[in-house]
Homo-oligomer: A and B are copies of this chain.
Amino acid sequence: MTQKVVVVGAGPVGSLAALYAAVRGFEVQVYELRADLRDPDTIPLNFSKSINLALSERGIHSLRQTGLSNLADAVLAETFPMHGRMIHVRKNGEYVRQPQIYDARGRSLLAMDRTGLNKALLDQLEAMPNVKLMFNHKLVGADFRKKIAWFEHRPKSAEEQGDEFEITFDLMIGADGAHSAVRYHLMKFVPMYFKQEYIDKLWCQFHVPPAPDGEFRIPSHYLHIWPQDESMFIALPNLDKTFTATLFLTRKGFEELDESGKVVEYFDKKFPGVVPDLITEDDLRKQYASNQHLPLISIKCTPYHYGNSGVIVGDAAHAMVPFYGQGMNAGLEDVRVLFDLIDKHPNDRSKALSEYTKERTPDAHTINDLALGNYREMASDVKKPLYLLRKWIEEQLYIYIPSAGWATQYSRVTFSNVRYSEVQRLAHHQAKILNRVVGLGFVSALVSALWFVRSGRAQRAKMRILLLISVVAQKLQSLMKN
């Protein structure tokens, strides 16, 4: 008998999970709380509730692994490559832009519109005979032992009561986001470690129109960053020559801006080259007032499954802050890993799901932590000379010793499919080696200096040199550890 897979959530991750299930011949039903975003009446989710995306290797690989040859290409056709960051800062009062290339071997991040990706996946799904798509359906209950769930069809406003009905399933996949209802019901069946926290940064999105000549207003192939430590402004290019920009700022910072109304002054001071080159004063004020100021949540939990009947993927399992650009990619990768394990254990779904939890928990927790830590890199480190020095050293190793498999953590996260937990292990390993190398240099410097001192002349000056060498070596070591 054909197994029935119910997917809750028709965002990119849920849609991909449904596709993976469909190509395997399962009977697939997809339930989505919101309206169909392909419907012209639907307000695009993209501009009100999600930062636009940077698709990278893990996401692309997961799209390719569906086996649907045209899917990945159709999606890639809608992306816009970003070769590096462009840092916008004032140095000695001068406004400067510093490009920083992402990958010494030329690989790029791909900027893309969340809605575009979602539409492509939904169109594919719609074309499959064994898939049923249901929008405006809310999960109101699930019994993972009896494999029964209850949905409510909400055709009109969110507050009206709709029809409730019961369905059965063999496997329910929860891809219903950070505030997952599937996870909420799953928790009643399995003792789950769960932690959510909101970081002290809110975000507000801005639309940057094309220039009067119809072109991009600033160099297009970059992820633009205005790093200001406690705040940050970024801009990602879109295919239509616009940018989608985001302001990140502490809650208190937003409150102060709300009170003073001095948004333009704030941008003038902090983010050189934005007003009026990217956005006019009026438009900035208007968008700041009308676009929501939204919180950023970080979620860790485990296990991700119950028995052989329920599993969560994507933000439902590990919503993360957006600073490593991996949230969506990790979600798409979840789907690939999940179905690899389902294929590996065709007659033991319990085993497949428990292996999924076992493999995916350390990986998701790792990228979650890296994402939290990466705010500092984006908003502060990128403008510091020592950061640039370290980046340069690592790039040289990467380029000149490729045989050693040397690679930065960033590059492994972004341009490979190596498990996140393994990436971190490798990064620690490399840091150790670098430390030893630097340490060795330090020891020989120390020995020669001591010898020099013993030889008797001008001891004080020599001791100062010694001290300096030691300080520099230590600084390098602490840099390498990161």
Tell me the A residues contacting B by CB distance below 8 Å.
140, 143, 148, 150, 159, 161, 164, 166, 179, 184, 187-188, 191-198, 295, 297
Contacts and interface: CB of A to CB of B under 8 A. Distances in A.
A193 B197 contact: yes
A159 B143 contact: yes
Contact of A164 (B148, B150, B161, B188): B161
A192 B196 CA distance: 8
Contacts of A295: 191
Given A161-B164, A192-B198, A193-B198, 16 more contacts: A140-B140, A148-B159, A150-B161, A179-B187, A179-B188, A184-B184, A191-B198, A191-B295, A191-B297, A193-B196, A193-B197, A194-B194, A194-B195, A194-B196, A194-B197, A195-B195
A179 B140 CA distance: 15
Nearest to A197: B193
8 contacts: A140-B140, A179-B188, A184-B184, A191-B295, A192-B196, A193-B197, A194-B195, A195-B195
A1 to B, nearest CB: 24
Contacts of A159: 143, 148, 166
Contacts of A193: 196-198
A188 B297 CA distance: 12
Contacts of A187: 179
A191 B202 CA distance: 11
Nearest to A191: B198
A49 to B, nearest CB: 13
A188 B295 CA distance: 11
A444 to B, nearest CB: 42
A385 B407 CA distance: 56
A195 B198 CA distance: 12
Contacts of A179: 187-188
Contacts of A198: 191-193
A150 B140 CA distance: 13
A166 B197 CA distance: 31
A367 B191 CA distance: 22
Contacts of A197: 193-195
A195 B195 CA distance: 4
A192 B297 CA distance: 9
Nearest to A184: B184
Kindly list the 4 A-B residue pairs having the minimum CB-CB distance in the complex, ordered from nearest: A191-B198, A195-B195, A191-B295, A193-B197
A383 B61 CA distance: 58
Contacts of A166: 159
A311 B198 CA distance: 19
A146 to B, nearest CB: 9
A129 to B, nearest CB: 32
Contacts of A194: 194-197
Nearest to A202: B191
Nearest to A251: B191
Contacts of A140: 140
A150 B154 CA distance: 15
Nearest to A150: B161
A462 to B, nearest CB: 42
A196 B187 CA distance: 11
A406 B196 CA distance: 39
A164 B150 CA distance: 15
Nearest to A164: B161
Residue among A161, A179, A193 with max Cβ neighbours from chain B (10 Å): A161
Contacts of A143: 159
Nearest to A300: B195
A295 B192 CA distance: 10
A333 to B, nearest CB: 26
Residue among A140, A179, A188, A196 with max Cβ neighbours from chain B (10 Å): A196
Nearest to A188: B179
A192 B191 CA distance: 21
